[in-house]
Chain A
Amino acid sequence: MVQDDRSLRKLCFALAAAIPLGACSLLTPHPPSGQPSSNQPSPGQPSPYQPPSPPPPARENHLSPATRSLVTQARAQLTNGDLPAASSTLDRALRIEPNSPLLWIELGRLRLAERDAHQAEGCARKALVLASGDRDALAQSGRLLADALRAQGRNQEAREVESQPYMLDRQVK
């Protein structure tokens, strides 16, 4: 019985978590690319170390087919209430693309589902740094950070995050 209760509760979490997850739509289709991630400059492009750098151009982060399929799998595991499996699947994705803000956002959402708001905050802050220059990813990171702060009762800080330009920018849309 105890076991049943627990899995039922897990399922509830999972469903609750799945709703905002669907909304952040990491899996929006984008033009197929063989590149693992547009986050890493391709050999032809100037690396950040071929300086002095012009203001970073607007960037868009995409997931590679491999990490996209892992994110899909992690979401399915989450929906089934198997949080440890979802976590381990996202670990795999992060090993492939450790610098993708999208994956850190995904992991942070999972931490929220696990009710680990403190770690969700860590993921959000990391995503925020990695998302520099990508307005979509910035807005999603900010949303996650605000949610993680609220979950810890830090409402004032959450409101401050929500008033950041990159967040306002999104809300207009």
Chain B
Amino acid sequence: MARSKSFLRRVLRIVAVVAIMALLLTTAWSVYLDRVVTREFRGRLWSVPARVYAEPLDLYVGAPIAADDLEEELRRLHYRSGDPQAGPGIYRRHGGNFDLHARRVRFVDELREPQLVSVHAGSAITGLNNSDGTELPVFRLDPMLIGSVFPIHGEDRIVLSPADVPPLLRKGIKLIEDRRFDQHHGVDPLGVLRALWVNVRAGRVVQGGSTLTQQLVKNYFLSDEQTFGRKATEAVMALRLEARFSKEDILVAYLNEVYLGQDGERAVHGFGLGSEYYFAKPLDELDAGELALLIGLVKGPSYYDPRKHAERARARRNLVLQELAAAQLIDAATAKRAAAEPLGLRPPGGRYVPAYLDLVRRHLKRDYGEGDLAAAGLAVYTTLDPRAQAAAERSLAQHLSRLDAVSRVRDAHLEGAVIVAEPNSGDVVAVVGGREVGAEGFNRALDARRPIGSLVKPAVYLAALETGRYNAATMLEDAPIELKLGDGSIWAPQNFTHEVYGRVPMARALAESMNLATVRLGLDVGLSRVADTLQRLGLETRPTLNPSLLLGSVEMTPLEVVQVYTSLANGGFSARLRAVRAVLDEHGRPLKSFKVQVEAAAPPSAVYQLDRMLTLVTTRGTGRDAPTRLPPGTIVAGKTGTSSDTRDSWFAGFTGSYLAVVWVGYDDNRVTGLTGAAGALPVWADTLASLRSASFQPVLPELIEDRWIGFNDGLETTPACNADAVVVAVPKGTALPSHTGCGSSPFSTLPDKIKAWFKTTVH
């Protein structure tokens, strides 16, 4: 007896110890889960990402926006055709006349209330009026939302605040996914029992019976695997979450978190982004049918993927519509009408600009403390021009495919990068980081650091002009040269054509990118002076003073090339590149704005002389094909670049409106067989052709004048005298040698009227 009693006691003690330990462990586990879930939820709830906007398009009389462009722009901004009186977001077009009900939008500098305007457009904007007929000098379209970034960890999301959630979505999602959401405490025992019953009968887990809270927890922390251990963890976490946060917070977090599909490599999370991705509209503009489609997707985003399985998606949408009508959230007539509608998906592709957002993120990181960026609800206003971005993407993709098709390389694809900027302000308007536009990953526009080849030559010639000892007509010696380098090796550069040109005027040596003449010029000017010039133009690190610098051994990213060429396109003023115009906090107050920053980088008169030579590159030289796709007569300045053995193909060029830099090459740095003119230039030409671009026509500086010289002999002449005459800019009063006889210097001093008369009689 005694023995069995003590045995019983021992067993009881063990049971008690085990029970207490189990209780302790369970408590510790649940406390731990509570911590985890609370921390994560708080973090997510309060880290609302920054919304990122493109530059809004300004309309004014004379703006180079044709009627069709304007309509395309309105569609991009998700304005729909209809009766503008019915509400914001609607326009009506009759030929070139548009009546537009603009939405309420916040710009960097003001909050604009909805507004009715009339726009008249032909090949450009010809009229702009208020609804009362008064003239409107200038009017901005909405800034386009191009994405949202968590400035710190960089995910893309369009996060809704409670006020952004349409009532029908709020009620509809509960109806379809979790009817007892407002009653349960995170876990719905009735739901679980029902699921259990189904699962037991099936012998495996087929039904979740999960509440919205459980689904949210699963999305946050857990894998997709359906084990009972995982379900238990999920249940505890859901209970803890419900104990700590309001139903409202949980519902909104759920709507922001739920997985709704896949856009290439980007997971589409949340109804905000989902609305954008499937319909290209803000959530509050969706109708019942569109909302029903999104709600229906939650059950299985890939199974019901409306782009791949339209019929399944339609059936699912219509089922949701029925349920909504049965619960009297919509009336039967609406449900019936919506069920007959097409799915209304926007065409895929287009709007996602990861390479540009990458630059935005880096600029934010460079210019802000991380603490500033943690604030909720920031709005980032960028300088992106969606039209330029689309043009650059299209042009790069087309030409790389074309070049790949004729290439002998079969085991690799050509890659490329394009950056477009406005040189006066330094605004970066487009960034393409590779041919796969939608893919994140290696951003060649910012990170591919490659030898720039002949793109360096303008800096060599500018350094020469700055000394005052050279002008465009100065004769250079294009003759073989051998140099002993510091390491004892011999450097013997050659021209790309392997020819030798002898005595050539400076303007022609640059236009035809002669290596020998350039090396001799650069050595005469001095490597250190060339490096100085490069740095003043905007290169941040001092290049190594090696003679091969003169032929572009210096490695730069496309972005760095843009910074340097900005100073050439901007009359000698460097403009600091900017992608972010301003950041506003959630109340619309500016946190910080980035001003146009211009600084004198090189003497304007020397830069004018150089730029004039760069226009010869695109008329007589290696860049001849650059203007071919632009309207006839458009003046372009630019330079081709080809690194050793054609590993890198570059073109950098500018019009009066844009500067664009293009790089083409292989990621593994193999030989392309493409010169700058064959690879990068066509991409440049097509990009610029899609943008309305003014001629490059800088103001003639006071101390400079334009003169005619022979392109081959550098002697002063006239077109009447020498068919090969070109215009160069030289300091006023420069003595230029000239032919005796025709076009001699006494002629050039004749008054213009007599010259003109002479010209006409000679012809």
Residues of A within 8 A of B (CB): 34-36, 39-41, 47-49, 51-56, 64-66, 68-70, 77, 82, 84-85, 87-89, 91-92, 94-96, 98-99, 107, 111, 116, 119, 122-123, 125-126, 129-130, 132-133
Contacts and interface: CB of A to CB of B under 8 A. Distances in A.
A127 to B, nearest CB: 10
Residue from B573, B702, B748 with most neighbouring chain A CB atoms (10 Å):
B702
A54 B752 contact: yes
B593 interface: yes
Interface string B30-71: 000000000000000000000000000010111100000000
Given A53-B700, A122-B598, A129-B571, A34 B61 contact: yes
Q: Which 8 residue pairs spanning A and B have beta carbons closest together?
A: A66-B60, A69-B137, A85-B109, A51-B706, A98-B424, A51-B727, A66-B138, A122-B598
Contact of B596 (A40, A48, A91, A96): A91
B699 A89 contact: no
Given A91-B596, A99-B699, A107-B596, A84 B573 contact: no
B597 A47 contact: no
Interface stretch (B192-200, B622-630, B690-698): B690-698
Given A41-B697, A49-B697, 7 more contacts: A53-B706, A66-B60, A85-B110, A96-B63, A98-B422, A111-B595, A129-B699
A52 B138 contact: no
B73 interface: no
Contacts of A129: 571-573, 604, 699, 701
A163 B328 CA distance: 83
A87 B727 contact: no
Residue from B107, B572, B590, B596 with most neighbouring chain A CB atoms (10 Å):
B596
B527 to A, nearest CB: 28
Contacts of A41: 697
Contact of B425 (A54, A64, A95): A95
A52 B707 CA distance: 5
Contacts of B698: 48
Nearest to A49: B635
A56 B700 contact: yes
A130 B425 contact: no
B573 A68 contact: no
30 contacts: A36-B62, A48-B698, A51-B727, A52-B706, A55-B705, A64-B62, A65-B135, A66-B60, A66-B61, A68-B137, A77-B109, A85-B108, A85-B109, A87-B595, A88-B581, A91-B425, A91-B581, A92-B58, A96-B138, A99-B656, A107-B596, A111-B595, A116-B595, A122-B573, A123-B598, A129-B571, A129-B572, A130-B699, A132-B699, A132-B700
Contact of A99 (B135, B424, B599): B424
B582 interface: yes
A64 B596 contact: no
B454 interface: no
Contacts of A119: 595, 597-598
B731 to A, nearest CB: 14
B374 to A, nearest CB: 22
Contact of B108 (A48, A88, A123): A88
B18 interface: no
A89 B108 CA distance: 9
A53 B582 contact: no
Nearest to A52: B706
A52 B727 contact: yes
Contacts of B427: 95
Contacts of A35: 62
B615 interface: yes
A122 B698 CA distance: 18
Nearest to A90: B596
Nearest to B599: A122
A70 B138 contact: yes
Interface of B: 58, 60-63, 107-110, 135, 137-138, 140, 422, 424-425, 427, 571-573, 581-582, 590, 593, 595-600, 604, 615, 635, 656, 694-695, 697-702, 705-708, 727, 748, 752
A36 B108 CA distance: 25
B600 A48 contact: no
Contact of A132 (B581, B701, B705): B701
Given A40-B697, A88-B109, A95 B597 contact: no
B604 A52 contact: no
Given A122-B600, A132-B702, A51 B708 contact: yes
Contact of A94 (B140, B425, B582, B615): B425
B137 A66 contact: yes
A37 B108 CA distance: 26
A96 B60 contact: yes
A47 B572 CA distance: 21
Contact of A125 (B61, B600, B656): B600
B705 A52 contact: yes
Contacts of B596: 91, 94, 107
B480 to A, nearest CB: 35
A49 B727 contact: yes
Contacts of A91: 425, 581, 596
Contacts of B108: 84-85, 88
A52 B699 contact: no
B62 A66 contact: yes
Contacts of B695: 47, 49
A165 to B, nearest CB: 10
Residue from A53, A55, A68, A96 with most neighbouring chain B CB atoms (10 Å):
A53
A83 to B, nearest CB: 9
Contacts of A84: 108-109, 582, 590, 593
Contacts of A95: 58, 422, 425, 427
A82 B107 CA distance: 14
Nearest to B657: A98
B530 to A, nearest CB: 24
A117 to B, nearest CB: 13
Contacts of A96: 58, 60, 63, 138
Contacts of A98: 422, 424-425
Contacts of B635: 47, 49
Contacts of A68: 137
Given A52-B727, A132-B702, A89 B109 contact: yes
Contacts of B699: 39, 48, 99, 129-130, 132-133
A66 B675 CA distance: 43
A102 to B, nearest CB: 13
A12 B402 CA distance: 61
A137 to B, nearest CB: 11
A67 B422 CA distance: 18
Contacts of A66: 58, 60-63, 137-138
Contacts of B707: 51-52
Nearest to B571: A129
A47 B656 CA distance: 13
A86 B49 CA distance: 27
Residue from A34, A49, A98, A133 with most neighbouring chain B CB atoms (10 Å):
A49
A69 B128 CA distance: 13
Contacts of B701: 129, 132
B416 to A, nearest CB: 27
Contacts of B708: 51-52
A90 B704 CA distance: 30
